Chain A
């Protein structure tokens, strides 16, 4: 039987080197582009203020660099995606063609948002992050593959191991990262849980219980 299309086991593609620590969500997607009630157009606006000057002319930036055109795996450093909870950040990158992130660490909400969109955000050591960035800098055509079962990133013939929160990995590999259906399957337990939480019924139950 064919696997569901939501399964994410092996992500292949070329890399884009986006160096720097603490790259925040305001840099990834400036707040003025959050005034849209859908995510559809966001691919155009990722890193907008870093990619274009005040007159709209392109500035030197990895996402404008023709060597990286068509790349789909973003190679980043420490605490990528810190700041706001805006899902617009991974949405904008996904919609411009990013399928996976390889970095030293990720902000927690950003990382969770990536998983919720089926995008792996995998953690490598500082040295390995620099090594992968250097390899791709020197040969942007290098094919990378992120293997969520072997927990490795292959860059040509170089192999690097990664870590990621196991629940994220399991939901990607099993294709259950869109969690609504899984959560809703427990509807009876949800209703049962609500009955034992005192503040949900004006503390009436704890009164009768005591």
Chain B
């Protein structure tokens, strides 16, 4: 019987079996950001411990940084304190810190971008969207601050091996349907708690056809389906993506590395706890309407009726309507929006901005909408600038910002106010997530968010893409 990638990675990194019944697992790459790490460094200091493998931890800032000018000191005193803390901690422990460099950006954007993220690794970070890195064929998951302390002190964690669910997407995605739509559909189908205890392995023709940045979007939201990790087996797309990146070996070492990476992919006869199959051509652009990412419908669809829901879902649905004030059975298209946010670790990469720019080019943001684009990293910002994207967005009436997490979770000054509705390319529509306790978030792809910004309401972005739309098909 063959092994899955998860099995191979687990076996390679297992240090010991622990008395509790868990495995002690070596963490090959540890990423830290400013919000969840200061308490862990403090715990280390309190116990007189040091960082065991400082060259396997890398640090950045993303959550609290302002995106309308990053000059120090930050206007927000607490943000400045948090920034100073990570600078001090990185310096004290000899950890490479990207926060003050041209490489600054969202931790899940810069890891792959710099080539820190590689196939076959175990990767942990005090952030649930660490699952993103699984797109390159690593086992990557979010941890709490006590576990950050453990990694800093020992470069290991005490963990139970998850089950693996194969998610097979057959056929091909229709034109204008993105990885974001695919993953939201999977979460809607399997539920926001369906993945508890599992790692999701995504595969099948529709997944193999995705470029790396789309794969990152897909794996990013695994946690929204309850799966702490999600991954895609390394293939030629992965290896091409890694070539020439800063932390990737070069020359003959690259070939050695590539052989290792390919050897970590799941065997053809690997066994899975279970399999979920989905037809790629049945997926349309998705929009979330409720208070968790699974409460989503296709763009041609209508909001569900509580009376039609499965008994187990009725309460959550009722709570969602209670918060959003939307009408049961109403069409999702035509729902007015006040804000459009394009960015985040889910959709803040160059391909996301290009996709949004194709919709925006030559059009104007609706006068009722405040729209902003926040690149995921300074490298994305530079690339976008080289391609003339800021001019396209600004001419349409978008604000063009500096790199950070921004309005995905509103820890910096970018927030919704009152009951605003936001068309957002981010990952969570939880109550209060975007900074207003009464705000409402509609999750969608960057193209869909761009289209909503232009129309002032939810529309099918495919109508605005000449190469895709029904009338203008080329």
Q: Do A and B bind each other?
A: yes
Residues of A within 8 A of B (CB): 20-22, 24, 26-27, 30-32, 34-39, 49, 54, 78-79, 82-87, 90, 105, 107-109, 112-113, 116-117, 126, 165-168, 170-171, 174, 176, 178-180, 182-184, 186-187, 189-190, 193-194, 196-200, 202-204, 206-207, 210
- A34, B78: Cα distance in complex, Å: 10
* A37 in contact with B146 (CB, 8 Å): no
Q: Is the CB of A207 within 8 A of B253?
A: yes
- B154-A187 in contact (CB<8A): yes
B69 proximal to A (CB < 8 A): no
29 contacts between A and B (CB under 8 A): A26-B409, A26-B431, A27-B430, A32-B435, A35-B76, A35-B78, A35-B82, A49-B431, A78-B312, A85-B36, A85-B127, A87-B146, A105-B196, A108-B197, A112-B147, A113-B147, A167-B18, A171-B20, A180-B149, A183-B153, A183-B154, A183-B156, A184-B153, A189-B24, A190-B24, A194-B53, A197-B28, A199-B118, A204-B253
Q: What 1/0 mask marks residues of chain B from 217 to 260 whose CB sits below 8 Å from any chain A CB?
A: 00000010010100000000000000000000100110011001
* Structural contact, A180 and B154, CB atoms closer than 8 A: yes
Given A34-B411, A36-B78, A113-B36 contact (CB < 8 Å): no
A35 → chain B closest CB, angstroms:
4
Chain B neighbourhood of A178, CB < 8 A: 146
- Kindly identify which residue among B120, B157, B435 contacts A199, using a CB–CB cutoff of 8 Å: B120
Collect the chain B residues with CB atoms within 8 Å of residue A86's CB.
35-36, 144
CB contact between B38 and one of A38, A49, A193, A206 (< 8 Å): that residue: A38
Q: Is the CB of A32 within 8 A of B410?
A: yes
Tell me the dominant secondary structure on chain A's binding face: helix
Q: Which residue of B lies closest to A32 (CB)?
A: B411
Asked if B104 is at the interface (CB within 8 A of a chain A CB), the reply is no
Q: Does B302 contact A (CB under 8 A)?
A: no
Expressed in whole angstroms, the Cα–Cα distance for A116 and B148 within the complex equals 11
Given the contacts A171-B20, A190-B15, A190-B52, A78 and B76 also touching, CB distance less than 8 Å: no
A64–B433 Cα gap in the complex (Å)? 22
In chain B between 1 and 59, which residues have their CB closer than 8 angstroms to a CB of chain A? Answer: 12-16, 18-22, 24, 26, 28, 35-36, 38-39, 42, 47, 49, 52-53, 56
Most buried by B among A38, A85, A200: A85
> With contacts A21-B315, A34-B35, A85-B143 known, is A183 near B24, CB below 8 A?
yes
Q: State the CA gap A42–B118 with chains docked (Å).
A: 36
A37 touches B26 (CB 8 A): no
- A109 nearest CB neighbor, chain B only: B142
Q: Known: A82-B192, A105-B196, A207-B253. Contact between A30 and B432, CB under 8 A? A: yes
* A37 and B20 contacting across the interface, CB-CB below 8 Å: no
The CA-CA distance from A86 to B402 in the complex, in Å, is: 25
Q: How far is the CA of A34 from the CA of B38 in the complex (A)?
A: 11
Instruction: Let me know if B155 and A22 touch, CB within 8 A.
Output: no
Give the top 7 A-B pairs by smallest Cβ distance, nearest first. Answer: A116-B146, A85-B142, A87-B144, A113-B144, A79-B193, A49-B437, A35-B78
Cross-chain contact A27 with B28 (CB below 8 angstroms): no
Q: How far is the CA of A27 from the CA of B428 in the complex (A)?
A: 12
Does B24 lie within 8 Å of A116, measured CB to CB? no
A37 to B82, CA, bound (A): 6
Partner of A206, one of B256, B432, B435: B256
Q: Which residue of B lies closest to A126 (CB)?
A: B312
CA–CA, A170 and B22, complex, Å: 10
- Would you call B228 and A108 a contact (CB within 8 A)? yes
How far apart are B311's CB and chain A's nearest CB, in angstroms? 10
Interchain CB contact under 8 A, A194 and B155:
yes
Would A83 and B85 be within 8 Å (CB), given that A105-B193, A183-B24, A190-B52 are in contact? no
B154 with A22: CB separation less than 8 A: no
Give a binary string over B416-438; 1 marks a CB under 8 Å from any A CB, 0 the rest: 00000000000010111101010
Residue B368 is within 8 A (CB to CB) of chain A in the complex: no
Chain B residue with the shortest CB-CB distance to A24: B430
